[in-house]
Structure 1
Amino acid sequence: MTVPRLSPLDPLDRQIIQATQSGLPLVAEPYQAVAEQLGVSARTVMLCLAEMQQTGVIRRIAAVPNHYKLGYRYNGMTVWDVEDHLVDALGQQVAKLPFVSHCYRRPRHLPDWPYNLFAMVHGKTERDAARQVAMIAERLGEHARAHEVLYSTKILKKTGLRIGG
């Protein structure tokens, strides 16, 4: 379990966050590039990032792809109504599908919103996306009482932690 730090960031952690908050450099050795910018070793940068991740200062280091630029025009959040006592187990099964990029549980808002399991799919064509939705439905079987697909209509800017200098 991750326990958040109660003390403020030390100066090097703050510098690393500021140097990486817009993304890692798109070079062969991104940690080395950050290290050179800060005047420390790449190992130091990696150790600091790992510690910040373990202590909960940062959640993850991950690529944030632009699905549209990669040719995926049909990006749909599938929402499913499954029994609450099964949602975690079913969600784990759905999350294992290779085309699901996000899968999580969310509270229902009855009577208008009965859905409690969410899974994001990405298709280059509408048919690709529909095929993926059908595969999720097959995986959920009789436990899927209802579902919808909410397709993206625009890209929202995704940003993480931002701190000033």
Structure 2
Amino acid sequence: MLTQKEMQIASLIQGDIPLIKCPFKHIGELTGSGEQDVLGIIEDMMKKGVIRKFGAILRHQKAGFKRNAMLLWAVPPSKSEAVGNILASFPEITHCYQRTPAFAGKYNIFTMIHLRDNGHGLRDNEYELLIQRLSSATGIKDYLLLISEEEFKKNSMEYF
């Protein structure tokens, strides 16, 4: 169970952290704590597993990643962990999940892929080239490509 102070701090860091010289000092002022207290509370919540990750969120389209897609893989259950680890090792893959029940009764590994514009435009076959590499590395030939056409909403979950 979180203390009131932990919930206050979690609430303030779950969204955008202010772009100022001393953001944790500012959070301390808002919560009646010192900067070191705020950092200590965040560290404790990480050690307890309450906070899993702490980092910047990149706006991928503004950073040049103009295309993204979800790629679903039909992987035999006995190979799910090994195939998932192989797929997760590719830098183009940002998310890799096993889903139960499997989509359409067979697609159980979901990956999100991002392709960057190299300044010369994207080749029409760029997805196919990446998928060939992924398929070759895993030995999985049955997949479904879902290309993103428009982003309607993207934000992090807010708990407090």
TM bucket (normalised to shorter chain) is 0.7 to 0.9
Aligned residue type for 1:158: N
Match of 1:72 among 58, 65, 72: 65
TM-score by length of 1: 0.77
Aligned to 2:142: 146
Structure-2 separation of matches of 1:51 and 1:127: 47
Structure-1 separation of matches of 2:28 and 2:34: 5
Structure 2 residues without counterparts, runs of 5 or longer: 117-121
**Shift in CA distance, 72/130, structure 1 to aligned 2, threshold 3 Å:** farther
CA contact (8 A) 1:121 1:132 kept: no
Aligned to 1:115: 107
Structure-2 separation of matches of 1:104 and 1:153: 22
Aligned to 1:4: none
Aligned residue type for 1:151: I
Q: CA deviation at 1:100?
A: 1.2
CA contact (8 A) 2:135 2:141 kept: no
Q: Secondary structure at the match of 1:116?
A: strand
Give CA-to-partner distance per residue, 1:43-71, whole Å, 9 cap, x none: 32222122223334333223332222222
Asked if 1:55 is matched to 2:48, the reply is yes
Over the matched positions of the two proteins, sequence identity in percent amounts to 26
Aligned to 2:119: none
User: Which one is further off, 55-64 or 11-20?
Assistant: 55-64
**Shift in CA distance, 40/93, structure 1 to aligned 2, threshold 3 Å:** same
Instruction: Quote the RMSD (CA, aligned, Å).
Output: 2.3
Aligned residue type for 1:55: K
Q: Secondary structure at the match of 2:107?
A: coil
TM-score by length of 2: 0.79
Structure-1 separation of matches of 2:89 and 2:45: 28
Asked if 1:134 is matched to 2:126, the reply is no
Count of residue pairs the alignment pairs up: 153
**Shift in CA distance, 128/70, structure 1 to aligned 2, threshold 3 Å:** farther
Asked if 1:162 is matched to 2:159, the reply is yes
Q: CA deviation at 1:39?
A: 4.0
CA contact (8 A) 1:75 1:129 kept: no
Structure-2 separation of matches of 1:16 and 1:128: 43
**Shift in CA distance, 122/33, structure 1 to aligned 2, threshold 3 Å:** same
Structure 1 residues without counterparts, runs of 5 or longer: 1-6
Spell out structure 1 runs of 4+ moving beyond 4 A. none
CA contact (8 A) 1:74 1:129 kept: no
